[in-house]
Each structure stands twice: as structure tokens, then as C-alpha cells.
């Protein structure tokens, strides 16, 4: 296989990698807010359920979670799903897993804001919603940006775990080509693509952090 053909195949796989990356962020970032709110809820059963959710998803390997979502419908409920299910199972696994991490980051950011700021806003006549949106949220976003950025960069590399479900993302493509050629070149090219994409993501995240730097603690 020529280098150009190999590169084209890997780029094709990168398209699937990009889909997993984007859909995971679109799903996990807002879901993480709900997880954080549930975790901080004064309703104890809900808070305990959120803690259990976070503990399970952060305490077990993502690869096993993907396999569980893939095979649980059949082995637990006897439901045989079509070939499209593996991509859906992959997305469910990624979104739920990352929502647990994002939820804990959101929670730590919200709880890091001194209680006095809420009380001062109340004295000034702000409603709870106005206080959160205009005073608390800008500070939280700035504080959690580096941690969220680290998780997003980790997600770039974690997309390769989709290979366990046979999804033809970039790592799976590299694995298949390497087996056919009996050399490591496809892995090297794939590693470079991952690296360049990570650099791009870091660049975007750094731009966002600089825009948030107007707000000083």
C-alpha cells in the first residue's frame, strides 16, 4: 500500500474519530451540569444516586463500559439489535463516562465560590438565578477551564478505545493496515495525526482561556 493510500484510509478513519469526539462533547458537557446539580442536591436520595453514578463511571475502565453498553441488551434482556447499535453504544458509553468527569469538575468549581458572594448578591436584590448567571457562573467558567481542557484533550486519545467495538475510527484503521503490511508505519502516521489534532485542540482551548482572562479572581 502506497503512503498516500494509507494516509487516505487513516483520514477516513479520522472522520469517525472526529464524530465520536464532537458528539461526546455536545452530549457530555451539558449532561455534566445535571450531574453536578444532582450531586449537590439537598435531596439526599438524588445526591447519593449521583455519587454512585460518578463512582461507577470514574471507577471502572471506559473500555469495559463500552463493552457493557454493546452487549448488555442481548445478554441481560435478550434483545438483538442491528449493526448500527455498536456506534450508538459507543456514543452512549463516551457521553455518560465524560459527563461524570465534567460533573465533578463543575461541582468543584461551583463549591469553590465563597458563600459570601451569594449572600452579598441577595442583599443587593439579585434573584438566585441572576446571582448564578451574572456573578457565580463567570468565575466558575474561568476556574474550571483548565480542568475541562485537560479532559477534552484526554478525549482525543480516548476515542481510540472505540476499536473494542469494531468501529472503524482511525486507530482501528491503523491496526488493520499495520496487520496487512506487517509494519508499524500506519501506527506512526496515526500517532502524528492524533498529535496534530491535539495541538489544534490545545490552540483553541488556549484562545478560550485568554478570552476568559479579563475576569480576575
The widest CA-to-CA distance across the chain, in whole angstroms, is: 71
Percent of all residues in the chain with a pLDDT value above 70, rounded to a whole number: 97
Mean pLDDT, range 119-124, rounded to an integer: 81
Burial call 127-163: b when 16+ CB within 10 Å, e when fewer: eeeebbeebbeebbebbbbebbbebbbebbebbbbbb
Distance from the first to the final alpha carbon of the chain: 56
Q: Is 23 helix (H, G, I), strand (E, B) or coil?
A: helix
Least confident interval from 21-25, 33-37, 133-137: 133-137
CA distance 173 to 196: 18
Kindly report, residue by residue over 105-116, the tens digit of the pLDDT.
Answer: 999 998 888 888
pLDDT at 215 over 70: no
pLDDT of residue 1: 59
pLDDT at 26 over 90: yes
pLDDT of residue 214: 60
pLDDT at 2 over 80: no
pTM: 0.89
Kindly report, residue by residue over 128-162, the tens digit of the pLDDT.
Answer: 778 877 787 788 888 899 999 999 999 999 999 99
Other residues' Cβ atoms within 10 Å of the Cβ of residue 75: 10
pLDDT at 217 over 70: no
203: Cα separation from own chain's centroid: 18
Other residues' Cβ atoms within 10 Å of the Cβ of residue 31: 17
pLDDT of residue 6: 85
pLDDT of residue 62: 96
Q: Please, where are the H alpha helices in 40-61?
A: 44-59
pLDDT band at 47 (very low <50, low <70, confident <90, very high): very high
Kindly report, residue by residue over 54-107, the tens digit of the pLDDT.
Answer: 999 999 999 999 999 999 888 888 887 777 899 999 999 999 999 999 999 999
pLDDT of residue 121: 80
CA distance 157 to 64: 16
Amino acid at each position: 500500500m502506497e503512503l498516500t493510500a494509507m494516509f487516505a484510509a487513516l483520514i477516513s478513519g479520522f472522520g469517525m474519530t472526529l464524530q465520536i469526539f464532537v458528539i461526546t462533547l455536545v452530549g457530555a458537557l451539558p449532561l455534566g451540569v445535571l450531574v453536578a446539580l444532582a450531586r449537590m442536591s439537598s435531596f439526599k436520595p438524588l445526591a447519593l444516586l449521583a455519587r454512585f453514578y460518578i463512582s461507577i463511571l470514574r471507577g471502572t475502565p471506559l473500555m469495559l463500559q463500552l463493552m457493557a453498553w454493546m452487549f448488555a441488551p442481548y445478554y441481560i434482556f435478550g434483545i438483538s439489535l442491528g449493526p448500527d447499535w455498536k456506534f450508538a453504544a459507543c456514543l452512549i458509553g463516551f457521553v455518560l463516562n465524560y459527563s461524570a468527569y465534567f460533573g465533578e469538575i463543575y461541582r468543584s468549581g461551583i463549591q469553590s465560590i465563597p458563600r459570601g458572594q451569594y449572600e452579598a448578591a441577595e442583599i443587593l436584590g439579585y434573584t438566585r438565578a441572576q446571582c448564578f448567571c451574572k456573578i457565580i457562573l463567570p468565575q466558575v467558567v474561568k476556574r474550571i477551564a483548565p480542568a475541562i481542557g485537560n479532559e477534552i484533550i484526554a478525549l482525543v486519545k480516548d476515542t481510540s478505545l472505540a476499536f473494542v467495538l469494531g468501529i472503524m475510527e482511525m486507530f482501528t484503521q491503523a491496526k488493520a493496515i499495520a496487520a496487512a503490511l506487517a509494519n508499524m508505519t500506519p501506527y506512526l502516521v496515526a500517532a502524528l495525526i492524533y498529535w496534530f489534532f491535539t495541538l489544534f485542540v490545545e490552540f483553541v482551548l488556549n484562545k478560550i482561556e485568554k478570552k476568559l482572562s479579563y475576569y480576575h479572581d
